[in-house]
Amino acid sequence: MSDKFMARAIELSIKSVNKGTGPFGAVIIKDKKIISEGFNTVTSANDPTSHAEISAIRDACKNLNNFSLTGCDLYTTCEPCPMCLSAIYWARIDNVYYANTRSDAQKIDFDDSLIYEELRKNIKERKIPMHQIMRDEALKAFEMWDKKKDKVKY
């Protein structure tokens, strides 16, 4: 763990505030060096997935030419939201160091509690209705993938 990496993430979060987007910054480290940086650009990019962590993950994967970030650590200025946390697991990041908590974020109107609540609910009880259709037809691609000999597992 290194304060200098968190300090850089905090610098990025301040840069993000000055640009008029959310107060979040993140850096990804490999071999004790910053390999990518990100800050929130949700409103400037009109992209609800453009969180600091997601931006840093995308950049790190591009820089390493690999979808796996095994051997990397993430420094982020806030406890990751459910979307970012999922991406962190998918990317196989080794460690996450965060500064502010989700409670701190909630106090300034970045409230993810609805999503945490929705994840605990049965799919039929969620706020956004989920409708399963054409499963039998869609299973064809799954069956093809299952039989594929040269697939890259992730």
Token match 């994967």: residue? 61
List the structure tokens of 31. 């071999």
Q: Give CA separation, 122 vs 49, 84, 128, in Å.
A: 24, 22, 12
Active site residue 53: yes
For the chain, the first-to-last Cα distance in angstroms comes to: 27
Question: Please, what's the largest Cα pairwise distance for the chain?
Answer: 52
Instruction: Give dist(CA 73, CA 147) in Å, integer.
Output: 35
Task: Exactly one of 53, 79, 117, 125 is catalytic; name it.
Answer: 53
> Cα torsion at 78, 83, 85, 87 (round to 10°)?
-120
Cα angle 21, 60, 114; round to 5: 45
List the structure tokens of 68. 């796996």
Q: Which residues are catalytic?
A: 53
